[in-house]
Structure 1
Amino acid sequence: MSSADAVPEVHPAPAGPSLASGGGSLLSDEGSAPVLDAAVHKRTLHRYLQKHRDALLAKLDGLAERQARWPVTPTGTNVLGLVKHVASVQAGYFGEVFGRPLPDPPAWLESEDGDDMYATLDETLDDVVAFHHRSAAHADATIEALDLDALGVVPWWPEDRRQVTLHRILVHMSYETARHAGHADIVREMLDGLAGDGDGNLAEKTPDEWVEWREQLVDIAERSGLRGIDA
């Protein structure tokens, strides 16, 4: 990307459902009671997973079908594909791993050809969002039903480390979802300028201030490239 590339005007995203009141303090009960038990830990992990789900799905808000599918990187990263991928991974980790497979899974769920990284012409944006909600509801039922130390097996992991607990899978899926929510945030900003998830981590700047900020960074990058070059 060069400094001459068109840059969308920044539009900070509104706060998502899990941050509507109280911000990150609502993501955990820790500190509200003198004794921390497994139930508190599970609620904390579950709330963070739900926060990252909200952030990911919010990146589809206001996008048309073409925008949602548009690949902005050489590897084809697109917002709708990220949502579909996370939904499929979630279905596997909270389903098959614990002997609770998702009922009536789509055929592409077993594909290893990257079919979960984009929506086909036969699938709509609403179809993918609906599948994500179904996957999340199934995952939540598993989380509710099992203790943190419940054992499962991840058949696609190396044989010597396939046995896991619900605790580990909750951490793993929070990481997985947060990672892809970050991808979606950048893709969305490149599409139309919508940035952040309303959690207060995006600086408050006017559109003109964002332009000035980026120009400052471009200037620093350009000047740093001149170091060591004889005049």
Structure 2
Amino acid sequence: MPRVVPPVADERTALTAYLAHQRRALRATAYGLTDEQARTAASASRLSIGGLIKHAARCEGFWTDLVVQRRHGTRHRADESGGDEFQLAPEESLAEALAAYAAAAERTDAVIAGIPDLGQAVPVPQGAPWVPAEVKEWSVRWVLLHLIEETARHGGHADVIRETIDGATFDPLLAAAEAWPDPWVQPWEAASPRVG
């Protein structure tokens, strides 16, 4: 896979390609991590790579539900049990978070593919504290742009966390995760355990 989004011919392809690329980048930050490392909050915040992936899956599901107009109350709740959406719980694994994220992405892609007009109205969840009171609807286009923005923001968080955990950076991680043929960067490799 290329390091950058390939050329695009139209708006729909551009939006979906950039969303897919940001998803790849976020997933790459988890490459080679143990569950314990994926739970690591390596900065002053409580954010962890596993938690960011878990949040991205839930966020994408929330917005896709809005596009298809499924109702889940008036506000986005991180976790119905009151847990922390930005952290993996002890009983959760990185593999489960990645699988949930892949499923959410697949569902979003299928929903978007079935919508002929990106200008289609998407109802705003009234009463949500993060929605301006005067806004009554968004468009599918707006939702896609928001998902790109949200995924990129959290991908940046995950980049910093990953580099803090073991020094790994984006290009070597992506080269290793995707087994790039003839990579132009040295693919990431797990550090060998120290002997003695």
Question: Considering the TM-score relative to the shorter chain, is it more than 0.5?
Answer: yes
Are 1:137 and 2:106 counterparts?
A: yes
Gaps of 5+ in 1: 1-19, 30-39, 103-107, 206-231
Are 1:196 and 2:170 counterparts?
A: yes
Name the structure 2 match of 1:124.
93
CA separation of 1:136 and 1:110: change in aligned 2, threshold 3 A: same
CA separation of 1:65 and 1:110: change in aligned 2, threshold 3 A: closer
Name the structure 1 match of 2:34.
64
CA separation of 1:72 and 1:62: change in aligned 2, threshold 3 A: same
Report the 3-state secondary structure (helix = DSSP H, G, I; strand = E; otherwise coil) of the residue aligned with 1:152: strand
CA distance in structure 2 between the aligned counterparts of 1:27 and 1:63, rounded to whole angstroms: 32
The percentage of counterpart residues that share the same residue type is 30
Is contact 2:78-2:85 (8 Å) kept?
A: yes
Are 1:80 and 2:54 counterparts?
A: no
Gaps of 5+ in 2: 175-184, 187-196
Amino acid at match of 1:83: I
CA distance in structure 1 between the aligned counterparts of 2:105 and 2:95, rounded to whole angstroms: 15
TM superposition shift of 1:126? 1.1
RMSD: 2.5
Aligned residues: 167
Name the structure 2 match of 1:164.
138
Match of 2:158 among 179, 184, 190: 184
CA distance in structure 2 between the aligned counterparts of 1:81 and 1:89, rounded to whole angstroms: 12
Report the 3-state secondary structure (helix = DSSP H, G, I; strand = E; otherwise coil) of the residue aligned with 2:89: coil
Amino acid at match of 2:8: S
TM superposition shift of 1:94? 1.5
Deviations 1:26-58 (A, max 9, x none): 1522xxxxxxxxxx2011010000000000011
Are 1:26 and 2:2 counterparts?
A: no
Report the 3-state secondary structure (helix = DSSP H, G, I; strand = E; otherwise coil) of the residue aligned with 1:55: helix
Q: TM-score, structure 1 length as denominator?
A: 0.65
Name whichever structure is richer in helix by fraction: 1
Deviations 1:113-164 (A, max 9, x none): 5621111112111111111111111111111111211111131323311400
Report the 3-state secondary structure (helix = DSSP H, G, I; strand = E; otherwise coil) of the residue aligned with 2:92: coil
CA separation of 1:171 and 1:27: change in aligned 2, threshold 3 A: farther
Name the structure 2 match of 1:8.
none
CA distance in structure 2 between the aligned counterparts of 1:43 and 1:97, rounded to whole angstroms: 18
CA distance in structure 2 between the aligned counterparts of 1:172 and 1:25, rounded to whole angstroms: 18
Report the 3-state secondary structure (helix = DSSP H, G, I; strand = E; otherwise coil) of the residue aligned with 1:122: coil
Structure number with larger C-alpha Rg:
1
CA separation of 1:25 and 1:96: change in aligned 2, threshold 3 A: closer
CA distance in structure 1 between the aligned counterparts of 2:60 and 2:160, rounded to whole angstroms: 22
Name the structure 2 match of 1:15.
none
Are 1:99 and 2:69 counterparts?
A: yes
CA separation of 1:69 and 1:46: change in aligned 2, threshold 3 A: same
